[in-house]
Every structure is written in structure tokens, then in C-alpha cells.
Amino acid sequence: MSYRHAVGTRAYVFEDLRTLLAKATPIRSGDQLAGLAAESAEESVAARMALADVPLATFLHEMIVPYEEDEVTRLIMDTHDAPAFEPVASLTVGSFRDWLLSDEATSARLAAIAPGVTPEMAAAVSKLMRNQDLIAVARRCRVVTRFRNTIGLPGTMAVRLQPNHPADDPRGIAASIADGLAYGCGDAVIGINPVSDNMQVLADLLKMLDELISRLAIPTQGCVLTHVTSSLELINRGVPVDLVFQSVAGTEAANKSFGIDLAILREGLDAGRSLKRGTVGNNVMYFETGQGSALSAGAHHDVDQQTLEARAYAVCRAFEPLLVNTVVGFIGPEYLYDGKQIVRAGLEDHFCGKLMGVPLGCDICYTNHAEADQDDMDTLLTLLGAAGVNYIMGIPGADDVMLNYQSTSFHDQLYIRDVLGLKRAPEFEAWLAAQGITGTGGRLIAPGQALQLLGPLTEMAR
């Protein structure tokens, strides 16, 4: 069906729900590239006004990607939790926004409705929200996950230690890990992006992570971010795999371009859990996402990139992940042009994920061909810290020397802890204190002393 809104004497007509969603999206280059964006500022607001009047229940009847053609749509519809949805079932998108901002929407009530919130509902309401709304509501959504520690508790923020090396050199990687641990990073995961897809290289990296985590008795998990099929093969070969990683997107066709479907993710989940390597929980999946990936694969079904990103979180949600992060500025300026678009997208992604009950972290990042710099990352880091992001990246000096982009650094996470008083995952915080890497109030001791405490690691780097 079509949707309309009149502004003065001008009547705006939107052909269907996906057109309405696309036109209502704050302007970004990827939707312009796809030819889906609003053609004027007024049209965009008219679309938002029309969207505000759409009942939430409409999203359960009008599919934006056909049910018959797309297994992600089928997942969303077939697993929708009607009882959880019931408290907000009579609301429109606009009155849902009002409810979310009201005192009615406590953390407990938000958690209760999460299984009833479809990605399209989350994306729709986010389009009516200003940045401060996205922060205020996300802050109240708590999603707590566990493997060897507890991530997402109120007042905490974890960090993925990302020790990448351009040649997968284990000694170089160990050197970056030592630096990161001395900065108190690594509670979300120690996660390596490998250059290679060679099984022996991947196995060696996983064995190194396993050895250092067990020798130092660190309450955290390791991950080599390789394709789910590679992780399955590694598990079959008896290699110690803590977390099963995969990049995912919001349509079946986009996932196919990544070489995956829901069935293979299910296999990954089952295989990961079969190892029983978690000590305090069994959230074993790690997913990465990012606006623009579906369009990039020509698999976007004429749906705007932010709505598709929220659909990727529906994929994640089905596999009870430990970690999910949007790699927000990685894809380049043809999808998110500048710092303003990256900041907005990071807040939208975090909000939509959290509203849906997904443990969202964020790789706050940009590439050198985007109109952005480290100041924009400081801005988004500060905003996401305020919004209660589950975790961020810790990369030496913010410069990933393998993937060629900039993210947040070991120093940056210290900054945001200082400014907002954010603690680490409690088990990891206790470990740092027990090692003497942190002293009073969780503050770091001098890096030289920390290195002595990490003796086994420096041995491995020799």
C-alpha cells in the first residue's frame, strides 16, 4: 500500500513501506548511490511524518523484502514473539518513540519487549529520533553476555584487543597483545584479523591465543576472525576455538555473497558450544556488520542501508552471540560520506541492536578516503560511551597496520573510562588488579612495570 503526507499544498506519496523507510532516513551517500534517498530535505521530513503515523503492527504484515525470497525475512517473521510485542502492539512508530523516551520505558520493560521488536520497527523509530534520543534510550537497554567473563553490565565497557599484523607474524601479534594488556584492554576478546586463510596459519594463531590466555589465566576469550566454514574445519581438527566469528548482513542474498546462510551459522553455533570452553556462559558467536554491505553486494532489494543493517541484527540475535559490532566507517565514503554520517550511523546501529536485545559494540572507525578524522572518532566514542556501548576496539595507536583503517586506540579507551567512569568486565578487572597491572581505583600502573608482570607473553614474543 502507499503512504502519503501533505506539507502545505504539496502532497508527498510514498509507494510502499520500503520507499517510505528509505525516504525517511537521514541523508547518507549509500542511499543516494542506490537512488533511494529523499530528493529534498522537505521530502525526507514528510516521509518521517508519514512514518510516524504507521502502526507498528504494519511491519508484521507488509514485508520490505519478500518472505518467499529471503530467509532473513522468514527468520524475522517466524520467530517474532507476539506476547513480548503485546505491550507496544497498539502503538504507531511515532507513539513508540514517545513511549521509549518516557519514564515508562524502564530497563526491565525494554528488555521484555526486545524479542517482539522487529528490525524494521527498530529502524523505523530510529529514523524519527535525534542523536540524543538514540543515546538516551540505548543507555537504558542492557544486554549482558558471558563466556569467560561478563560483558554489558551497567557502568562497564569492554574492549576488543585487536593485535593485527600485516604478515600474521605470531611474535608481532604477541607484542601488540602485551601492549594492549598493559593498557588494561582485552576483556571483550583478543581478536586477530588474519591476512591468511591458510588452515595451518589460523591454527597456529589460535593455539598461541589459547596458550597465552591459559598461561596467564586471563578471564577472557580469543578469536581469529575467519570465515565460519574455516572455524568449523578448525574445530574438526581439534584446534582450540573459543568464539566462532562471521560477518553477516541483512538479506539472504548479501549473506550468500559472504558465503553463508542461516544453516551454516547454526552449525557454527553448535560446533562452538560443543567444545564447552566457556567458564561463566555459553555465548560463543562473534558477528560483525556494517551499513552498506548489502548494496555493495547488489543484494539490497531497494531497501535503505540502515534498515538492512538492523535486519543483520535479527540474524545475530538468533545465535545468542557474545559480541556483535558494526564496523561503522570501514566501508568507505560512497556509503557513509563524512564524520557526520559516520557518527549518526554508529548511534543508529547501536540503538537498533540494543533495542532488539543484541549485545552491540562498535568499531568506531574511518578510512583515509572518507571525510573524517580522529576528532570524529573522539566524538562518536564519547557519544557511544554515554549510550552504554558494550565494547569498542583497542588498536595500537588507533592504526590498524593490516586492514589499513583507523579505529580507537588503547589510549582512547582510557580516555573514555576517565571521563565517564566506565569499568571493565568485572572478572577481567579483578585479574588486572591481581596481576598488579592496575592499582587503586582500577588505574593503570606504569607500562614498564606492567610488562614485567606479563613475563610469559614476552617469552612468546621472543
Partner 1 sequence: MIPDEAWRRLSELTPARIALGRTGSGLPTSEAMKFALAHAQARDAVHAPLDPAVLATGLDDLGLAHLTVSSSAVSRHSYLLRPDLGRRLDAAGRNAVAAQRATGGVDLALVIADGLSARAAHTHALPVTAALLPYIRRNGWSLGPVTIVTQGRVAIGDEIGALLGARLVLVMIGERPGLSSPDSLGLYLTFSPEPGRTDGERNCLSNIHGAGMSADEAAFKAVWLMGEAFSRRLTGVSLKDESGAYISVTRDAGRPILPPPPDHSG
DSSP 299: -
CB of 200 to partner 1, least distance (A): 12
CA dihedral 86, 91, 94, 100 (to 10 degrees): -40
Distances (CA, A) of 311 to 70, 143, 356: 12, 18, 10
Q: Which stretch binds partner 1 (CB under 8 A): 90-98, 115-123, 164-172, 347-355?
A: 164-172
Q: Report CA torsion sign: 96, 97, 99, 100.
A: positive
Site string for partner 1, 399-418 (x = CB under 8 A): xxx-xxxx--x-x--xx-xx
Nearest-angstrom CA–CA distance, 172 and 176? 7
132 near partner 1 (CB under 8 A): no
Nearest-angstrom CA–CA distance, 274 and 269? 8
CB of 396 to partner 1, least distance (A): 4
368 near partner 1 (CB under 8 A): yes
Q: Which is nearer to partner 1, 84 or 386 (CB)?
A: 386
189 near partner 1 (CB under 8 A): no
44 near partner 1 (CB under 8 A): no
Q: Report CA torsion sign: 181, 185, 190, 193.
A: negative
380 near partner 1 (CB under 8 A): no
Can you give the three-state secondary structure of 162-226, one letter per residue? CCCCCCCCHHHHHHHHHHHHHCCCCCCEEEECCCCCCHHHHHHHHHHHHHHHHHCCCCCCEEECC
Q: Which is nearer to partner 1, 62 or 334 (CB)?
A: 334
Q: Which stretch binds partner 1 (CB under 8 A): 4-12, 131-139, 273-281, 361-369?
A: 361-369
32 near partner 1 (CB under 8 A): yes
199 near partner 1 (CB under 8 A): no
**Is residue 197 classed exposed, middle or buried when 0-12, 13-18 and 19+ CB atoms within 10 A define those classes?**
exposed
Most distant CA atoms of the chain, gap in Å: 75
DSSP 401: T
Within 96-115, which residues bind partner 1 (CB under 8 A)? none
Q: Which three cell numbers stand for residue 237?
A: 581438527
CB of 32 to partner 1, least distance (A): 8
Assess contact for 244 and 268: CB atoms under 8 A. Answer: yes
Q: Which is nearer to partner 1, 176 or 289 (CB)?
A: 176
Among 96, 337, 428, 431, binds partner 1 (CB under 8 A): 337
- Mind giving me the DSSP string for 254-293? HHHHTT--HHHHHHHHHHHHHT---SS----EEEEE-TTH
Nearest-angstrom CA–CA distance, 124 and 415? 33
**One-letter amino acid of 338:** D
Q: Which stretch binds partner 1 (CB under 8 A): 135-143, 160-168, 186-194, 216-224?
A: 160-168
332 near partner 1 (CB under 8 A): yes
90 near partner 1 (CB under 8 A): no
Among 94, 115, 172, 456, binds partner 1 (CB under 8 A): 172
Q: Which stretch binds partner 1 (CB under 8 A): 36-44, 51-59, 202-210, 364-372?
A: 364-372
Q: Which three cell numbers stand for residue 206?
A: 589460535
CB of 300 to partner 1, least distance (A): 14
461 near partner 1 (CB under 8 A): yes
Q: Which is nearer to partner 1, 163 or 353 (CB)?
A: 163
Q: Based on C-alpha coordinates, what's the Rg of the chain?
A: 22
Q: Which is nearer to partner 1, 24 or 175 (CB)?
A: 175
CB of 187 to partner 1, least distance (A): 17
CB of 212 to partner 1, least distance (A): 14
Residues within the interface to partner 1 (CB under 8 A): 29, 32-33, 163-166, 169, 171-176, 178-179, 332-334, 337, 367-369, 373-374, 395-401, 403-406, 409, 411, 414-415, 417-418, 446-449, 451-452, 458, 461
